[in-house]
Structure 1
Amino acid sequence: MQQALFSIAEPALNKALAHDHSAADKLGSLEGKSLSVELTDIKLSVNLSVYNGKLRLSSETSIRDCFVKTELSHLKKLSDATQITSLIKQDLLELEGELSVAQKFSALFMDNGIDWQEWCSSYLGDGLTHKVFSSGKKAVDTLKRKQVDLDYTVQTALTEELKVVPSSIEVELFSNQVDLISARTEKLIASLNSIKEKM
């Protein structure tokens, strides 16, 4: 099913990219390269590659120059190296392989003058396109809300019900106690060293 959708989307995307005067150079720099993307929020895995100056889509994601696992909303940040570092530190992005490949594919789709909603409307019509984009946004928002609710439920269960994970307050108290003991230990060592010197 997914591959069937890709076979429809592939020529349409190439047609859309033809409206971007900088796309040819971008595609040229990606010739023979491939990127596999797993979008966790919308449960989509796709391999993007470039051959003979054309974008190719496939569900076969095992052969790639770069692998990215993230959410749809974070894809546009891949062209900024500082954003990537921040996303990785926050566990919002998993990245393997050539970073430059991910950045170039990101630039191909994000840094252009194509109005994607207008492009879709030429195939689906204004009304249906609006519904698709609105539904897609609502679906992503709903998934994010459910993920937040689930995270809260799991955290509450682990800290309050099962008590297998300390709460943030308990962690802070423990950290303060460690700092206090460390300070007292350093003071005691200093006192012992002073006594030794007098002996």
Structure 2
Amino acid sequence: MPLTNLLCGLLETGVNQLHQLDSSAVIKRKQLNGTIIYASLKELNFPLYFVISDRQVDVLNKFEGQADCNIRVSFSALNKLQDNHQLTHLIKTGQLEVDGDIQLVQQFAKLLTDMDIDWEEHLSHKVGDVIAHKLCYHAKKIHQGTLAQFNKVEKQTALYVTEEIKLAPSGLEVAYFCEQVKILEAQADTLLLSLNNKLEQLEAKSNKRLGTNSLAGK
């Protein structure tokens, strides 16, 4: 079996098994019933086609037909696709390319990542209530610690890029630049207003002279 088919099969099985535990999956699949999404990571040349029905999600590496929406996204932007306010920024910064309805991107992201799974309830049937509670408690702690470390690294990277190697402007520099632009705009408006007033005065004087010469000629 080709590696691409194996990866598609593993992804398809994983998504559908998680959906069996997700109480909201049926509703989200119905919203996308009959939709075909083409998705690929910018870091990898590995296209995927997600064929969504109200019963399951099929994952293919080839599809004979036209997808309803084409998505190319950077790996670092995957967790931001659900946020409406982030999408425009991701597109402007080149982290996300969309050919199709942007609403489909949001619904698709929620289908794959926003799952309402009560892990403690499902685990309790396997190992008992006490052990399930302890496992979930420690899992949450590990998850919170991982997120905290990730945010710390992200902030340190941003500081390094803006302060150390100066590849990007800092927040204060951007704010100062915007303020200077506003000042220049105000000065330009004042200058234009002054020029318009002078032109009007010159035009009035010119018309007055023409009127005087016309009366003198008579």
Listed as ranges, the matches of 1:164-183 within 5 Å are: 167-168=173-174, 169-183=176-190
Provide structure 2 residue ranges, at least 5 long, that are not aligned to the other structure: 207-218
Match of 2:117 in 1: 114
Task: Tell me how far apart the structure 1 counterparts of residues 36 and 89 of structure 2 sit (CA, whole Å).
Answer: 28
- Which 10-residue stretch deviates more, 179-188 or 6-15? 6-15
Task: Tell me how far apart the structure 1 counterparts of residues 16 and 104 of structure 2 sit (CA, whole Å).
Answer: 18
Q: Closer, same or farther in 2 for the Cα pair 1:146/1:162, shift >3 Å?
A: closer
Match of 1:105 in 2: 108
**Greater CA radius of gyration, 1 or 2?**
2
- Which 10-residue stretch deviates more, 134-143 or 116-125? 116-125
Which residue type is aligned with residue 13 of structure 2? P
**TM-score, normalised relative to structure 1:** 0.58
Provide structure 1 residue ranges, at least 5 long, that are not aligned to the other structure: 78-82
Task: Tell me how far apart the structure 1 counterparts of residues 88 and 168 of structure 2 sit (CA, whole Å).
Answer: 28
- Deviation of 1:180 (Å): 1.6
Structure possessing the higher relative contact order (Cα contacts under 8 Å, 6 or more residues apart)? 1
Which residue type is aligned with residue 98 of structure 1? G
Q: Closer, same or farther in 2 for the Cα pair 1:61/1:151, shift >3 Å?
A: farther
Aligned residue-pair number: 185
Listed as ranges, the matches of 1:125-164 within 5 Å are: 126=132, 130-157=137-164
Task: Tell me how far apart the structure 1 counterparts of residues 180 and 139 of structure 2 sit (CA, whole Å).
Answer: 50
- Deviation of 1:5 (Å): 7.7
Deviations 1:27-75 (A, max 9, x none): 46444623526599xx9x99462367432457x5999633153635434
Which residue type is aligned with residue 70 of structure 2? C
**TM-score, normalised relative to structure 2:** 0.55
Identity %: 14
The alignment yields a C-alpha RMSD, in angstroms, of 4.9
- Deviation of 1:96 (Å): 0.9
Task: Tell me how far apart the structure 2 counterparts of residues 140 and 72 of structure 1 sit (CA, whole Å).
Answer: 15
Task: Tell me how far apart the structure 2 counterparts of residues 9 and 119 of structure 1 sit (CA, whole Å).
Answer: 21
Task: Tell me how far apart the structure 2 counterparts of residues 177 and 148 of structure 1 sit (CA, whole Å).
Answer: 32
